[in-house]
Structure 1
Amino acid sequence: MNILLKSVTIVNGNNKDLHKKKKDILIKNGTIEAIATKIDPPAKTKIIEKDNMHVSIGWFDSGVSFGEPGYEERETIENGLMTAAKSGFTDVILNTSSTPTPDSASDIVFLKNASKNLLTKLHPLGNLTANGESEALAELYDMKNSGAVGFYDFKHPISNANLLKIALQYAQNFDGLIFSFPLDRNISGKGIVNEGVTSTRLGLKGIPALAEELQIARDLFILEYTGGKLFIPTISTANAVKLVADAKKKGLEVYCSVAAHNLTITDEALEDFNTKYKVMPPLRTSTDTKALIKGVKNGTIDLITSDHTPLNVELKHVEFDNADFGSIGLESIFGMLNNILDIEDTIAQLSKGREIFNVDPPKLEIGQPANLTLFDPEITYNFTQDHIHSTSKNALATGRQMKGKVIGTVANNQLVINE
């Protein structure tokens, strides 16, 4: 398949010769054939020409959940990856949120086979513990050899400190990446929102910031003792940023992410008890969001994730106390981030991080495989259900003003365009 991208503005911070330049890009059979001011299309070439079209290397999300296997009604792998492609993502890390959860080599092989030959590439995580029960380590080495890029009991904190210690020590034998969700259940108790003025006023049980920070402090002490590679997903408090920054200054190999909604929305959104805002970790205060944004800009926070979590409608359309945690976010992450960061920082954040998972980053260069995201950074619109591609519709972004829209993606010799 031949594709000609006409008059696209290149956003590529790593290549000063191309950055902010308007060029034509010719792609032949999945490879970038030419980049020039004007290219005459060969025969049988699909021409893509849109107003104010920009291009960058394909985007990367370090934390998405689908439903398959077990919850196909929420999201199949195929539709989930199509949603990712339409949202600008050419690589995604898949959380261990299915049932059964992937805790063996055969489970990892199933996930990779189910995603073969699609535009967006899926990189699965495996469970850290057998069945995600936090009692015994899963088959980490076998899963690594089958393609698992890390090990995570999705949203389940590791209560047994010795288990984390053993995991970090063992995984060093094969360069394994260990995830630890930052929550101390003894502190959080039955909390469902951030503990503070808003939770008190609304009469909702609170989760103190201490529950996150205490777990992070413990995990970092263990990491300092054992060595190894630790990933702390979706931090949400100001002190969590400080703890990670201090650990990095010590030279510890620790990485962390933040959910886009924790950067852009505070717990004040809970005023009408809308369950779309019930997420884990919970929405925090403006003090936290400011610290998180600063952590993103100074590099303390390595990655911004959509934390895409599809849920059945009946799990959200209930009383706030009984609703499940989670929101889809692939379709809205670009428009949300582009509201708080400039376009170059937004694209840099959406494009970075593959190296943490030993995934080769794409290059926008002649002779390289075309792995590209097309977007308009200036268009503004109100995000509605019509903008959702996911089977599930539990989006906390609905009703919010967005800046920037994805036009499409090119990868794996395939093209997806949003019409």
Structure 2
Amino acid sequence: MKVLIKQARIISPASPFNGQTKDILIHEGSILKISDAINEPADQVIDQPGLCASIGWMDIFANFGDPGHEYKETLETGARAAAAGGFTDVLVLPNTSPVVHNKSQVEYVIQKSRTLAVNIRPIGAVTKNAEGKELAEMYDMHQSGAAAFGDGTNPIQSAGIVLKALQYVKSFDGTVIQIPEDKSIGANGLMNEGIISTQLGLPGKPVIAEEILIARDLKLARYAESKLHFTGVSSAKSLEYIKRAKEGGTTVSCSVTPYHLYFTDTDMQEYDTNLKVNPPLRTTKDKEALLKAVADGTVDCIASHHFPQNWDGKTCEFEYAKEGMIGLETLFGVMGNFELGTEKLIELLSVNPRKIFGIAIPEIKEGAVACLTLFNATTEYIFEAQMIQSKSKNSPFVGKKLKGKVIGIINKGKVELNQA
């Protein structure tokens, strides 16, 4: 099958065609030709105004629920949501049932997703059943294809376990991922502790619960001389710690979510359960610090924290609502509101995540395997519920204006395009 992409502006720092507008001819999943004008017949022609092409984007923290929670999301629906959001690669959480904590579970995810257009890469649990008590078989999982290690939605509370994990993954140059939260602080909190939580009468989670775990784990990573990644960082002080650790030579990286950059705790005054997330939405000051850190490079990449919840999990009292929102499909359009510049944003979405986790970076050149995301960086549109490809619909961005529209992906010899 031949696919011809007409007049696409190539945005890929490593490509010799970076910044140029070219035709791209793809045959049997490989880039056959890149030229100013290609007039060869093709089975499919993609020709849209404002078209841009980059190497495929990668998300590092999404929950696809399979096995065990298929009523929220399956590998198939998760892959559709990822493709709609422009992602060719997704790291999926181990918080399934059973937990992805051994090689057979890693192999299950890889084999079941083999025919999908999106590369689904399992995160192996650091501890058995993601309970934080006993190390899982990380080396076996690595050999079977686990891309990274972490207990997903369960931050590892034991310093001893974190240290052992950091030391263990050194043998194969692996990376440990943590959501930063000391659960012994503000254990019953429903949102950020502050003026707004007091006004709403909701128990709060103090920001120090995040900062104290980051400070601890940075010391452990420095001691172990190993690789650590924090995701969902939401505090200005946390970013200070991480920046200082980087300057001191610690191999640490971090990611933030689009919703921590867009919303603050003041947006929760309507008790919208879709805004109940962990780490919680913080103050305007924290949000501004996050945006600055994305712009100056302290933040290494953007993570969707795509956590589907079924209708019952969100349509209830705020106290009983499950945490999380879907985020793969809105990520690019949300990030387009922040005027980072298209090249900077594409670097955050495509190059940096692969560098962090040691995954080969695709190329846009003749003879390379086609792993592409197609998009228009300037299109503005209202995100509507009927656009959602995820099995779950828990998004606070429905009805919001987004800037930057994904046209589709080309990966593994497959073409997945969004409806115009």
* Fold shared by both chains (TM-score > 0.5): yes
* TM band (smaller chain): over 0.9
1:334 to 332, 351, 374: 332
Contact 1:85 1:408 in 2 (8 A): yes
> Secondary structure of the residue that 1:24 maps to in structure 2?
strand
What is the distance in 2 between the residues matched to 1:170 and 1:260? 32
Q: Return the offset for 1:253.
A: 0.9
CA deviations 1:5-28 (Å, max 9, x no partner) are 01112222334x523322111111
- Contact 2:174–2:357 (Cα < 8 Å) also in 1: no
Q: CA deviation at 1:49?
A: 0.9
Provide TM-score, normalisation by structure 1: 0.97
In the TM superposition, what is the alpha-carbon distance from 1:35 to its structure 2 partner? 1.0
Partner of 2:218: 220
Instruction: Show the counterpart of 2:417.
Output: 417
**TM superposition shift of 1:197:** 1.6
- CA deviation after TM superposition for structure 1 residue 176, in Å: 2.3
Q: 1:118 aligned to 2:99?
A: no
Q: Which residue of 2 aligns with 1:35?
A: 34
Q: 2:317 aligns with which of 316, 319, 341?
A: 319
Q: Give the C-alpha shift of residue 347 in structure 1.
A: 1.8
Query: Are the counterparts in 1 of residues 14 and 363 from structure 2 also a CA contact under 8 Å?
Result: no
Report the AA paired with residue 347 of structure 2.
Answer: A
Q: 2:79 aligns with which of 77, 81, 87?
A: 81
Between 51-60 and 170-179, the greater mean CA deviation after superposition: 170-179
Counterpart check, 1:384 vs 2:397? no
In structure 2, how many angstroms separate the alpha carbons of the residues matched to 1:407 and 1:47? 13
Within 1, Cα distance between the matches of 2:8 and 2:172? Answer: 42
Is 1:168 matched up with 2:169? no
Q: 8 Å contact 2:63–2:93 — kept in the other structure?
A: yes
1:359 and 2:359 aligned: yes
2:408 alignment partner in structure 1: 408
CA distance in 2, matches of 1:393, 1:127: 27
Matches within 5 A, 1:4-403: 4-15=4-15, 18-42=17-41, 44-340=42-338, 341-352=340-351, 353-403=353-403
Q: Is contact 2:179-2:231 (8 Å) kept? A: yes
1:367-417 deviations in Å (ceiling 9; x for gaps):
111111111111111112022110100012112110111111111111011
Secondary structure at 1:318's aligned position in 2?
coil
Amino acid corresponding to residue 389 of structure 1 in structure 2: Q
Whether the 8 Å contact between 1:105 and 1:142 is mirrored in structure 2 is yes
Q: Secondary structure of 2:139's partner?
A: helix
Find the aligned partners of 2:214 and 2:380 in 1 and give their Cα distance: 38
Distance 1:348 1:173 in 2: 28
Paired with 1:343 and 1:355, the residues of 2 have a C-alpha distance of 19
Measure, in 1, the Cα distance between the counterparts of 2:53 and 2:371: 10
Give the alignment's Cα RMSD to 1 decimal. Answer: 1.2
Determine the C-alpha separation between the residues in 1 that align with 2:285 and 2:363: 37
User: How far apart in 2 are the matches of 1:170 and 1:181?
Assistant: 19
Q: Is the 8 A contact 2:231 2:303 kept in 1?
A: no
Q: Deviations over 1:304-339 (max 9, x none)?
A: 011111111101001001101000001100000011
> How far apart, in 1, do the equivalents of 2:28 and 2:302 lie?
32
Unpaired runs of 5+ residues, structure 1, are none
8 A contact 1:78–1:114 mirrored in 2:
no
Using the alignment, how far apart are the partners of 1:140 and 1:19 within structure 2?
Answer: 39
AA aligned to 1:38 is A
CA distance in 2, matches of 1:177, 1:346: 23
Q: Give, in whole Å, the separation in 1 of the partners of 2:9 and 2:358.
A: 29
Greater shift in the superposed pair: 322-331 or 19-28: 19-28
1:226-270 C-alpha deviation (Å, 9 max, x unpaired) = 221111121111011111111111111111111111111111110
Letter in 2 for 1:178: V
Q: In 2, Cα distance between the equivalents of 1:290 and 1:212?
A: 17
Which amino acid in 2 is paired with 1:80?
G
Paired letter, 2:20 = K
Counterpart of 1:99 in 2: which secondary structure? Answer: coil
Aligned identity (percent) is 40
Instruction: Please list the CA deviations of residues 30-64 of structure 1 after superposition, one character each: whole Å capped at 9, or x if unmatched.
Output: 1111111110123x531111122111111110111
List gaps (5 residues or longer) in structure 2: none
Once residues 81 and 89 of structure 2 are traced to their aligned partners in structure 1, the CA distance between those partners, rounded to angstroms, is 12
Q: Which moved more, 1:171-180 or 1:355-364?
A: 171-180
- TM-superposed CA distance for 1:125, in Å, is 0.6
CA distance in 1, matches of 2:43, 2:369: 17
